[in-house]
Chain A
Amino acid sequence: MRADVLSVLRGSYLREKNTRAKKILKAVLDNAACAKKEKLAICQDTGMPVIFAQLGQELKISGNLKEAINKGIAAGYKKYSLRNSIVMDPLFRGKPGFSPAIVHLDIVPGDKLKLTLLPKGFGCENKSQLKMFKPTCGLQEIKDFIVDAVKSAGADACPPYVIGVGIGGSADYSGILAKEALLKKVTRSPGHQVTRFISGLEQDLLKSINKLNIGPMGLGGKTTALAVNILTYPTHIAGLPVSVNISCHALRSASVVL
């Protein structure tokens, strides 16, 4: 589990007043410790591997980058006994394997390649939502949509959640932003690159969500979400896309620069 997620979980455990919620949060913390000690995955759903790749434009790559990424993922998943959850055909299904990953590629200055892996569990991925708002809509409508998305996820997607939100771009791009938002640290550090407005919005939403009384495993309590992370992007005069990508508490990601 990511260190920042673990740290917020610990804080939530200490602050939680509901006896059952506290007991479940303790189990979640014990699980993380047990996984580390026993070298087991924190959750059996080791996700659909999603890669955010930042390719330096001065870098010359020989060979097949996507193939190399998929080979690396399959080798890593196999080595650490992670689950083969990917079927090659969405309609005809078939025997599951480890890859392919979904690769989001961005071209950046420089001569390095940065790869970030987010293995995303599907219990929570299933609760993702997209809404195309009118450009004249009020902020409250957007807030309600985000809070309602968490409400409809309810107990199903392993709360406490981390809520990724993408605002702007296009229908497809807001979805990528919402997922990428899950990569932002859930601890608020001085290096956290958001405007004061977005930071305030994140805190407002977190407060509203934690009043829903969903709680760990949906059995009540004030720990429904650990954080709300928002990313924005310029959009079209005619629209305002908003996507919500919910992560369970088993939020895992890691980066490497090559």
Chain B
Amino acid sequence: MKKINTPLTLNEINSLKAGQEVFLSGIIYTARDQAHKRIVENLGKGKETPFDLKDAVIYYCGPTQAPKGKVIGSCGPTTSSRMDEFVGFMLAKGLRGMIGKGSRSRQVKEAIKKYKGIYFITYAGCGALLNKYIKSAKKIAYSDLGPEAVLELEVEDFPLIVAIDVNGGNVYGQD
């Protein structure tokens, strides 16, 4: 099985094809609805983002609280399409990868092709199972958003399926 690492350079993902299963290790960042809105608003005002977008991977996830003795709680993907409107702008600023669940708009697919990004899906509704691939979690921004705060996660062999590859190949087939 193919293994890939962050920072997610083009070289890491150039040969990946839609439908292929891969394991990701390294640092990823959680961000969902409100965090996306803020990041894009901040970028528009020329302000800094909570993490460097260059070759970064965003995980659409809002985990449960970590129970005692665990680094994080249940932590599966949320529906990606709610973030569609923000994707083009963030890919243009250097974002490389996204992890979520479900299909994306045609605009997202086109932006992925244009900026050589990649969209992965992971086991949906399996937040307990995915817990074990997360080695550490650190809140780095927007703690007022509660579970929507931005976390820096260290992952090891996190299981992914390529849903949209760098050439716009789409596991969901539709356009």
Contact of A118 with B by CB under 8 A? no
Contact of A218 with B by CB under 8 A? yes
Our pick among A32, A44, A97 for the contact of B63 (Cβ within 8 Å) is A44
Residue of A nearest to B37 (CB): A93
Contact B146 A155 (CB under 8 A): no
Residues of A within 8 A of B70 (CB): 38, 40
Contact B146 A27 (CB under 8 A): no
Bound together, the chains give a CA A97 to CA B144 distance in angstroms of 11
Contact B67 A81 (CB under 8 A): yes
B133–chain A nearest beta-carbon distance, Å: 12
Contact B128 A81 (CB under 8 A): no
Bound together, the chains give a CA A182 to CA B34 distance in angstroms of 30
Bound together, the chains give a CA A27 to CA B65 distance in angstroms of 22
Contact A123 B78 (CB under 8 A): yes
Our pick among B73, B80, B102, B148 for the contact of A40 (Cβ within 8 Å) is B73
Our pick among A24, A42, A83, A250 for the contact of B65 (Cβ within 8 Å) is A83
B151–chain A nearest beta-carbon distance, Å: 12
Given contacts A46-B64, A93-B34, contact A24 B123 (CB under 8 A): yes
**Secondary structure at chain B's binding surface: helix, strand, loop or mixed?**
loop
Given contacts A24-B123, A85-B147, A219-B171, contact A42 B128 (CB under 8 A): yes
Residue of B nearest to A39 (CB): B67
Contact A84 B61 (CB under 8 A): no
Residue of A nearest to B103 (CB): A155
Contact B128 A218 (CB under 8 A): no
Contact of B167 with A by CB under 8 A? no
Contact B64 A249 (CB under 8 A): no
A-B contact count (CB 8 A): 132
Contact B147 A40 (CB under 8 A): no
Contact B129 A31 (CB under 8 A): yes
Contact of A96 with B by CB under 8 A? yes
Bound together, the chains give a CA A80 to CA B68 distance in angstroms of 10
The residue in B34, B74, B75, B80 that gathers the most chain A C-beta atoms within 10 A of its C-beta is: B74
Contact B127 A44 (CB under 8 A): yes
Name the interface residues of B35-63: CB closer than 8 Å to any CB of A. Answer: 61-63
Contact of A30 with B by CB under 8 A? yes
Contact of B121 with A by CB under 8 A? yes
Residues of A within 8 A of B148 (CB): 96
Our pick among B144, B161, B172 for the contact of A95 (Cβ within 8 Å) is B144
Given contacts A81-B65, A156-B79, A217-B121, contact A41 B102 (CB under 8 A): no
Residues of B within 8 A of A162 (CB): none
Contact B102 A44 (CB under 8 A): no
Contact of A126 with B by CB under 8 A? yes
Contact B64 A41 (CB under 8 A): yes
4 closest Cβ pairs, A-B complex: A35-B128, A156-B102, A31-B126, A31-B129
Point out residues on A near B: beta carbons under 8 Å: 24, 27-28, 30-32, 34-35, 38-46, 80-85, 93, 95-97, 123, 126, 154-158, 217-219, 248-250
Point out residues on B near A: beta carbons under 8 Å: 34, 61-67, 70, 73-76, 78-81, 101-103, 121, 123-129, 131-132, 144-148, 161, 171-172
